[in-house]
Amino acid sequence: MSTITNGKLADILPVPRIPAVRDRLKDTPVAAPKRVLLAAPRGYCAGVDRAVIAVEKALEHFGSPVYVRKQIVHNVHVVSTLEKQGAIFVDDVDEVPTGSHIVFSAHGVSPAVVSAAADRGLEAIDATCPLVTKVHREAVRFSRDDFDILLIGHAGHEEVEGTMGHAPDRTTLVNGPADVAALEVRDPDNLVWLSQTTLSVDETMETVRLLRERFPNLHNPPSDDICYATQNRQVAIKKVAEEADLVIVVGSANSSNTVRLVDVALENGAKAAYRVDYASEIQQEWLEGMATIGVTSGASVPEVLVQEVLDDLADAGYADVQRVVTAEEDLMFSLPKELRKDVNGEADSRGLGGRTRQLDWQAK
């Protein structure tokens, strides 16, 4: 039986590493001393932590298989590890046998998905990040108050689909600054903007600026929709990028906040920036002539994957790891309500343990 402790996933997950991969990066000379700038905060956020633990606890309590709608979080290593533990990932509820347990991912779902699961007799466990739920509530409230919603986000992203599903007749998607000129709205005086939680802060503010130029009476959301984890990781990589020749971002291609970190690094001084799922993807030629390498990771990335990158970089002569800390995080969310009692009916007092403290003090 697993325990819920700080850094749990990072502690237990083996990285599928081929021994021969070690030492494949060569220690070639560069003009200045080699070093790594390690961004903090990086890696797991409170919402990801909660969602991954929700699947683990569901497996623990209900046994395998537990079905998960979409990737629980956008990270290939997390998903493949949970698959090995007995989770089955599906695209939609109609693939799940009646009576099964299904977990809704951290990105959230529309009310239509919740209804479809209930109609099918599924036992749903909602691992939607509470900060995504907050945006859902805003969408419901503003539509009820007769506002139209301009939702800044990426078409096709699961979070955007879920949020739009809470006010489908009132929401227009705005993919970014380029969409603003062509927008048509019902009533420019009853208009509010909301956003996906994992966008670039700078690009979103530019989109809002353009929206306000067109619609001066545009209302703001009651609080930031771009979440603390996304913002904190962007602030940290900005600081790192100012001094880095190369930035390596650990995370998956479909992770919005991960991809934004690559963009932010390039916009803030890095000569080059690459995303990798695993350390084995780092190419020798990326390192040629690079003295300072920045390292960070997206909000769905277990720390063990970052450690592997640091180990490989050390093989290439980048053993000097300097931490760049711009914030400390200690947010935690309680487990989904469906899991707060264990199978024996005992209240589960185990919280999530402030795992977002897995900042740089776990690094070298």
Q: Which residues, other chains included, contact 209 with Cβ-Cβ below 8 Å and sequence gap of 6+?
A: none
Is 159 tagged catalytic? yes
How do strand 101-104 and strand 66-69 relate by DSSP bridges?
parallel
**Cβ-contact 261, 3 below 8 angstroms:** no
Cβ proximity to ligand SF4: between 257 and 292 the closer is: 257
Binding residues with ligand SF4: total (CB under 6 A): 15
Would you give the end-to-end CA distance of the chain in angstroms?
A: 30
Judged by CB under 6 A, which of 204, 230, 280, 292 binds ligand SF4?
230
Q: Which residue from 46, 72, 210, 247 is in contact with ligand SF4, where contact means CB under 6 A?
A: 46
The one segment of 4-12, 180-188, 227-235, 258-266 that binds ligand SF4 by CB under 6 A: 227-235
Burial class (CB in 10 A: 0-12, 13-18, 19+), 362: middle
| CA-CA-CA-CA dihedral for 266, 270, 273, 279, to nearest 10 | -150
Task: Please state the closest distance from residue 15 (CB atom) to ligand SF4, in A.
Answer: 22
Q: How far is the CB of 297 from ligand SF4 (least distance, A)?
A: 12
139 versus 180: smaller Cβ distance to ligand SF4: 139
What contacts 76, CB < 8 A, 6 or more positions away? 252, 277
Residue 227 interacting with ligand SF4 (CB under 6 A): yes
Q: Using CB under 6 A as the criterion, what x/- string covers residues 129-168 for binding ligand SF4? A: x-xx------------------------------------
Should residue 279 be labelled a site residue for ligand SF4 when binding is judged by CB under 6 A? no
Is omega for the bond preceding 41 within 30 degrees of 0, making it cis?
Answer: yes
Q: Could you tell me the smallest distance in angstroms from the CB atom of residue 234 to ligand SF4?
A: 11
Residue whose token pair is 């096709």 = 156
- The correct pick among 105, 198, 200, 292 for binding ligand SF4 (CB under 6 A) is 198
Q: Which is nearer to ligand SF4, 280 or 356 (CB)?
A: 356
User: Nearest Cα to 295, choosing from 326, 249, 331?
Assistant: 249
Residues 6+ apart with CB under 8 A from 164: 110, 139, 151, 171, 173
Q: How far is the CB of 47 from ligand SF4 (least distance, A)?
A: 3
- Residue 78 binds to ligand SF4 (criterion: CB under 6 A): no
Q: Does 257 bind ligand SF4 (CB under 6 A)?
A: yes
CA distances from 332 to 148, 236, 241, 335, 351 (A): 32, 20, 28, 9, 8
Q: Which is nearer to ligand SF4, 38 or 299 (CB)?
A: 299
x-marked contacts with ligand SF4 along 6-45 as a string, rule CB under 6 A: ---------------------------------------x
Active-site annotation holder among 56, 60, 138, 159: 159
User: Quick check: 259 binds ligand SF4 (CB under 6 A)?
Assistant: no
Of the candidates 299, 324, 335, 352, which one interacts with ligand SF4 according to CB under 6 A? 299
Give the DSSP per-residue string, 196-227. -TTS-HHHHHHHHHHHHHH-TTPBPPSS-SS-
Backbone angle region of 7, left / alpha / beta, with phi > 0 → left and psi within -120 to 50 → alpha? left
Query: Rounded to whole angstroms, how far apart are CA atoms 339 and 154?
Result: 31
How far from chain centre, in Å, is Cα 2? 23
Site for ligand SF4 in 116-135 (CB under 6 A): 129, 131-132
- List residues binding ligand SF4 (CB under 6 A): 45-48, 106, 129, 131-132, 197-198, 227, 229-230, 257, 299
Q: Name the residues annotated as catalytic.
A: 159
